[in-house]
Structure 1
Amino acid sequence: MKKLLLCILLIISCLIKIKAQLKISSTTSFNANWEFVKDIDTTNSARLLSNISTPNVNWEKISLPHTAHIEPVKKVKEQWQGTCFYRKYFTIPTVNKGKHIAIKFDAAMHEADVYLNGKHIYKHLGGFLPFYIDISDNVLFGKSNCILVKLNNQDNPDIPPAKPIKDLDYNYYGGIYRDAWLIIKNKIYISDAVQAGHENGGGILLHDEEVSDKQAKLIVKTEVNNDFDQQKTVSVKINLKDKTGKTVATSLAGKQLLKPNSFGSFTQNLTVNSPKLWSPSHPELYSVQVQVLENGKIIDEQTFNTGIKTFKFEASGFYLNGEKFKIVGTNRHQEYPYIGYALSNNAQYRDAWKIKNAGYNFVRCSHYPPSPAFLDACDELGILVMDAIPGWQFFGGLTFQENSFQNIRDMIRRDRNHAAIVLWEASLNETDMSNPYMDTANSIVHRELPFKDVFSTGWKDYAFDVFNPARQHLKAPDYWKKYNKNKPLLIAEYGDWEYYAQNAGFNQTEYQNLTKEEKSSRQVRGYGQERLLQQALNYQEAHNDNFNGNIVGDVNWLIFDYKRGYATDLETSGVMDIFRIPKFSYYFYASQRNTDESRPMLFIANYWNDPTDKVVKIYSNCDEVEVKLNGTLIARQKPDTGINTNNLKHPPFTFKVAKYQPGSLQATGYINGREVITSTSATPGKPYKIVLKADYSGKPFKAGTNDALFVYAYVTDINGITVCDATNLVKFSVDGSAKIIGDKTGNAEAGIAPALIMGMDKPGKVLIKAIGDQLVPGNLSVILH
């Protein structure tokens, strides 16, 4: 009896395993258990690529996302460029024989040759968009397979952005720096839009029509591949669900006969009653579930989020869901210190979270397509997006142009279903493009998306639907205020170059060593209060002045400091530094959000440690602010007025103090006469201790994803007040399933020393320690989930 029971249990166990292996489709992470090597002799690369044992090559065990080289924050030599190799062994169970097997890379920089079991099977050019490799006919089942990816990120005039790194205003880092996926499906499956390569097709394509708050029509086109040698009859079912999981619309397409080794396209309409419309203030998302059916059974399925909205750009403004909407945006480079582009998905989300909390409702992806995880975060958080192709001040030959056109197609095919995207920058930024190039680029956008209210954009006033120059492309004092053509105008960059080089044009290298004058917007936190206030004033002045003209919005340069190929110093016009620590200008923008969009905010932009101080600057979205010094009332007043405030939602508050007294400034904000927020700034004492804080920005520290978390060591006095001019040397250490990436020791800047902590595979408690000479050490326990 016991033996019989044991046999039954074994049979059940096997059936469960078989059922798991025979699931309709699976897309699983392919990030773990890679090996990596660079800077090796590749003169006999054929042997290297075909010999799995690879003698005399020391492979490093890594996981994705991964950067090919840990770079210093400040460039001490040229960024690493060269050839590197990634290798992974994997096994596909024999039960999957006869299925569609593929590997997808979300991005790898930037020339990729892929080998499977020693055979070259794929080549991809371009470092910012995905490539999808069907390995169904090449993979071994039930045996070990070896995939090897050879990458080269050296300058290449045919691969956009193509400009050599030493002359480029940003860097492109080597490595497989985004996710990789293993895809196993039935041989009847929803195609991959990029791999399919079909204009206005491939994968799943949806768009809205006849949208109002009463009703909306969602049109979904699905492309289904049939890789069998015989014809198949299938149908497609779509379920639309709201955020509670309730199905609000459904559609079942009629059956369609798919020819052997071909594909079919299904177009379905769904009507949504009383739709909840997507907007930055209410980023309502719906779940779209697309199922492929054969004989009534689900054989493939995809689910993703989308939003329902209506929008249009006109010369008179940008209109969202029928109402005029003021775009207040920023530019973003995706770079992190040390690891370059190799951000985890949670780190991508944290960047978007910071953009939202800085007060922006729009982000320009400068100057290349971002991670899918970043776009997902923008959908969820409510940030409008300008998606952009790779390009900056370089126009190449015919091969370059064809590759650039392919970038446009692939960007749109990858990103077209995102709720947040309202503009397609199918333009090479600050590049002297030919008219035929621009005509073709604009045409590609509209052929890929032949719908109403689809908008291309470019920095030249030609071909594109929306004109997006930088403020400095014309000179002071008018800039773009006299632009009167019947075309939407969006200022895509402002606040940096016009203050840094006084309209020096595009000859960047000639001005790279200009003295960091106080009037520049390129200020680091350590330069002190006056320069940080100057940066904030520059942004305030430019932002306010832009709206004296007829524009749909403006986009400042930029949110985060970043590295450039052509200069040794950082580009420091970010409202946050490269470690994502805010400068004063961050709080200026944060104050421009109404309290119905966010909570009341108030920031005292004064360290109150300088005896010459007689002015207190406050950024707040309150109606009135009251300031007290050591308990004595200084004033209660309305916001500032003047030529730099007439277009601001919430101008700053400036208070004059008769005489400086060390101690405590207390500011209280009022809305409609009611006290809503209080903040203090106190004169710091001498450095005494270290206080550690982790920057979660809306996402937990996640194991098994190469999640990178910023930890900040605040040098404080005995009362916990940050010593704003402290430069103490701080040394970090970590115990637990995490490691420090980059520098473990560094000087505090404006009282804060940052470190980058990367989580390992095993969840658990991570203890972070920081010590400094003559300082009480800091300890922080974080949970790696």
Structure 2
Amino acid sequence: MKRRNFILSMGAMTAGAALPVSMARAKTALDSAGMRMTLPVNSQWRFSPHFVAGGHDPVCDESRFQKITVPHSNSRLPWHSFDDQSYEFVSLYRRHFKLPPKAKGKHVFIDFEGVMTAATVWINGVRLGEYRGGYTPFSFELTPHINWHGDNVLAVDVDSTERKDIPPLGNQVDYLTFGGIYREVALRIVPAQHLDNVFVKTIDTLSAAPAVDVQCFILNLEGQSEPLELEVDLIDGSTVIASGRAVMTADTSSEQVQSVRLTNLHGIRLWNLQDPSLYSVQVRLLRTGVVIDQLSRRFGFRVAEFTDHGFELNGKVVKLRGLNRHQTFPYVGQAMGARVQKRDAEILRKKLKCNIVRTSHYPNSSHFLDACDELGLLVLEEIPGWQFVGNEAWREVCVDNVQRMIRRDWNHPSIILWGVRVNESQDFHDFYTKTNALAHRLDPTRQTGGIRYFQESEFLEDVFTMNDFEFPLKAPNHPRYLNTEFVGHTYPTKTIDSKERLMEHTLRHARIHDQLASSAQYSGGLGWCAFDYNTHADFGSGDRICYHGVSDIFREPKPAAGFYKSQCDPAEEIVLEPAFHWSRNDESIGIRDVLVCSNCEHVKFYIDSKLVAEADPDRKQFPHLPYAPFIVDLYEAAITHWGDLRMEGYINGRMVISKTLSGKGIDQKFALFADDEQLIADGIDATRVVIRMMDEFGAIRQPCGDAVVLHLEGPAELIGPNPFSLVAGSGAVWLRTTQQSGLVRLTATHALLGSASVTVRVSAAGAELV
């Protein structure tokens, strides 16, 4: 069945919604050939959280509507202890626009990257249909109803209730879906014959003669019969290194698929974890020698395969070590723009030293995946779902999710596995045979997995992906085996917890990874999870938070994060991370064993400059880890004399790193740290500002829960509470730009330690053209 016919067969499920070309990199209004226009429409929206009579009509009283920019959350929330039904309502978004004269005679589509959870779209008072699903992109054609010379009004009813007919909903779900138009929106203006998508397949990648097969999907909306041509350039940076062309026979069908193969490629750099080299293809569609459309897609040359002796990247075995990620944030749910989404990938790759992430339990932001491509972070991407599988109509939405996920993301070299099964669901033979076959048909270059929690599950996919929260782990029961969740909910840990719990939390992650390293039959594993996240009342710790992360909800690390960081090669970074807070009576019997995560060979411990202990990695408990933690008993030394604790790490007999913790037990330093110094005044761009109370050596003072008063100056809005109460000595708010440039200054004032501030410069952004 052709893709277009497949879409139409979805009937009421998509109500005419089409699969859009992703707008993740839609930065220019008009491409260089002058034929395709991509016009962002993220600003100048009007929002009402309530039903409005006549709200879909071109003329409507908008005086009480809020002026907002998308990504937008339908409700600002506290970071914890809120009513998880408070965002469950139907809201209305309106956007006026006037098309440029060049749009006349072309086809106009509205592309949504993500709306939670169902969107009914209207143009100039005409209902176009409803799209059901919050994590996948969709489009509606506006052409027949456009006012070409005047004002047009787009209206969107956004149903953010937990509707049982839409995955992942239908039963209990251990995360929140939140609400709103939380990803970007754009108008796409194209000719009747145009490029709908491009899929770049690399061929013979590891040989002396690699090639690419560029599969082009062309739509013909008006049954035109003129023959078409395709021209394809392979681009390295700004240099064209290969070109090809194909002549297509005259065809009046609504869709054609034509491939162009580029060969004789030399000196191609492989995409890998250390050097994630990226290329792009530019495809031009011509009619009678004139370019009528073009698209560009980024990709990488790499071979990724799970085998019976582990995961191989470009023919070399790589032990996978990673974490699961929910894409939610404090205060605004999922409504964060590109910079903040990309920052999560940077934390995972650069701060936690992971080499893989799982997008649990739904497709994540395109911006996050772009960053994974750029950073060399592998991805297991999966469809929306959590344990529950609904009726046939529900499953058809799920099948549609598989298609939209893969067609949106099939050019990302970071993605190595499609998750085509609802997380932790029971077996449904016909359903999962269908999702698995669809994934292989759409993308024969990647393997599939299906996340389950029992080994007796029917194995239909290529890789047996398994959530196993036991210790020791179950032995692999299939040759291609990946552990996809562990620890997490079995040992929730807060940053305010005692040293004993924080240390045990760290050790549990270390024990699992030690077992994963013990056998090639384990491809590796992804711990549950990277960051604490919001959840429903019947999960979590009684305050709508699952404290399952190795970092807290503000992305501040817990001691377990130090274990992940410590597993990198010292040539990349030398790591010395204490899994404890230095406090005399942090344990019921006084401080005893301390845990240090490090990739050093030897560690020495000093109290007030006196050597009190030294240790080698604990190879007895962790014989298989690349870099085992250090455990040392400081009980006698601490009883004899209490003071500042200095730790020194040694490699090849030379001290390469040291870290000191204060013995005074006093809040000494108060500071703010912004992730970024520069932002763009587009109303979307944002950055995190971390607030910390520290000792004199820069270590976070865990006992501190003081409130600080925030004062913001300049063209930005504060995302977060004011005053802000620190959580275990730290916390974070976000600054989001307005549409004005200038200098932003955030000042936090503490009752005893005075004020600290941070400045961010906001540069002008080009105004949206419609």
Q: Tell me the residue number matched to 1:294.
A: 287
Structure 2 counterpart of 1:256, which letter?
M
Q: TM-score, normalised by structure 2?
A: 0.89
Could you tell me how far 1:293 is from its partner in structure 2? 2.5
RMSD: 2.3
Q: How far off is 1:536 after superposition?
A: 0.6
Q: Deviations over 1:466-524 (max 9, x none)?
A: 1112113xx554x312x343x41111100124xx3xxxxxxxxxxxxxxxxxxxx3111
Q: CA deviation at 1:684?
A: 4.4
Deviation string 1:280-306 (CA, Å, 9 cap, x unpaired) is 222111122112223444322222211
Question: Which residue identity lines up with residue 78 of structure 2 in the other structure?
Answer: P
Counterpart pick for 2:483 among 483, 491, 497: 491
Deviations 1:436-485 (A, max 9, x none): 1111111111121234x53343424421111112113xx554x312x343
Q: Determine the structure 1 residue equivalent to 2:202.
A: 208
Aligned to 1:388: 382
Q: 1:470 aligns with which of 463, 467, 470?
A: 467
* Change beyond 3 A, Cα 1:22–1:435: closer
Map of 1:321-360 to 2, 5 A cutoff?
321-357=314-350, 358-360=352-354
1:172 aligns with 2:177: yes
Give 1:648 deviation, angstroms. Answer: 0.8
Q: Is 1:374 aligned to 2:368, yes or no?
A: yes
In structure 2, the residue matched to 1:28 is: 39
User: In 2, distance between residues paired with 1:28 and 1:466?
Assistant: 41
Deviation by residue 1:242-299 (Cα, 9 ceiling, x = unmatched):
24x222222122x224444733322111232232111222211112211222344432
Q: Is the contact made by 1:35 and 1:60 (CA closer than 8 Å) also made in structure 2? A: yes
Are the structure 2 counterparts of residues 223 and 426 from structure 1 closer, same or farther at C-alpha, using a change threshold of 3 Å?
A: same
TM-score w.r.t. structure 1 length?
A: 0.87
Letter of the aligned partner of 1:408 in structure 2?
A: V
- In structure 2, the partner of 1:610 is 584
Contact 2:600 2:651 in 1 (8 A): yes
Q: Does 1:108 align with 2:115?
A: yes
1:687 and 2:684 aligned: no
- Note the alpha carbon deviations across 1:385-425, whole angstroms, 9 max, x for none: 11110111211111011111111111111111110111111
Cα gap change, 1:148/1:52 in structure 2, threshold over 3 Å: closer, same or farther? Answer: same
The separation in 2 between residues aligned to 1:352 and 1:266, in whole angstroms, is 34
What is the rounded CA distance, in whole Å, between the counterparts of 2:167 and 2:684 in structure 1? 28
What is the CA distance between 1:548 and its match in structure 2? 4.0
Is 1:655 aligned with 2:629? no
* SS in structure 2 at match of 1:702: strand
Ranges in structure 1 where 5+ consecutive residues have no aligned partner = 1-17, 192-202, 501-520
Report deviation, 1:84. 0.5
Q: Assess if the C-alpha contact under 8 Å between 2:319 and 2:517 holds in 1.
A: no
Structure 1 contact 614–659 (Cα < 8 Å) conserved? no
- Residue 313 of structure 1 is aligned with which of 276, 283, 306? 306
> Is residue 783 of structure 1 aligned with residue 753 of structure 2?
no
Show the 5 A alignment for 1:523-672: 523-548=493-518, 550-565=521-536, 566-567=538-539, 568-569=542-543, 570-596=545-571, 598-610=572-584, 612-643=590-621, 645-657=622-634, 658-660=636-638, 661-672=641-652
Measure the CA separation in 2 of the matches of 1:213 and 1:631: 58
1:110-145 deviations in Å (ceiling 9; x for gaps): 211100000012321111000122222221112010
- 1-structure distance, mates of 2:451, 2:484: 10
**Contact 1:213–1:277 (CA<8 Å) still a contact in 2?**
no
Consecutive unaligned residues of structure 2, counting only runs of 5 or more, are 1-28, 764-770
Which letter does structure 2 place at the counterpart of 1:72? Answer: P
> Are the aligned partners of 2:55 and 2:155 in contact in 1 as well (CA < 8 Å)?
no
In the aligned structure 1, how far is the partner of 2:57 from the partner of 2:754?
56
- Counterpart amino acid of residue 340 in structure 1: G
Write out aligned runs for 1:692-711 (5 A): 692-696=672-676, 700-711=678-689
Opposite residue 324 of structure 2, the aligned amino acid is N
Q: Give the aligned residue type for 2:167.
A: P
Q: How far, CA to CA, are the matches of 1:436 and 1:769 in structure 2?
A: 58
1:436 corresponds to which of 424, 430, 436: 430
1:362 aligned to which of 348, 356, 365: 356
- CA change 1:242–1:51 in 2 (3 A) is closer
* Correspondence for 2:13: none
Please give the alpha-carbon distance, in whole angstroms, between the structure 1 residues aligned to 2:31 and 2:150: 19
Deviation at 1:729, TM superposition (A): 1.4
Q: Which residue identity does 2:216 align to in structure 1?
A: T
CA apart distance, 1:88: 0.3
Deviations, residues 612-655 of structure 1 (Å, cap 9, x unaligned): 33444321122333333322333454311123x12211111223
Of 89, 101, 123, which aligns to 2:96?
89
Aligned equivalent of 2:724, options 742, 746, 756:
746
- Give the secondary-structure state (helix, strand or coil) at the position aligned to 1:114: strand
Amino acid at match of 1:423: L
Change in 2 beyond 3 A, CA 1:104/1:210: same
May I ask how many residue pairs the two structures share in their alignment? 716
Q: Tell me if 1:756 matches 2:731.
A: no
Q: Does the 8 Å contact 1:213/1:276 carry over to 2?
A: no
Post-superposition shift, 1:380? Answer: 0.7
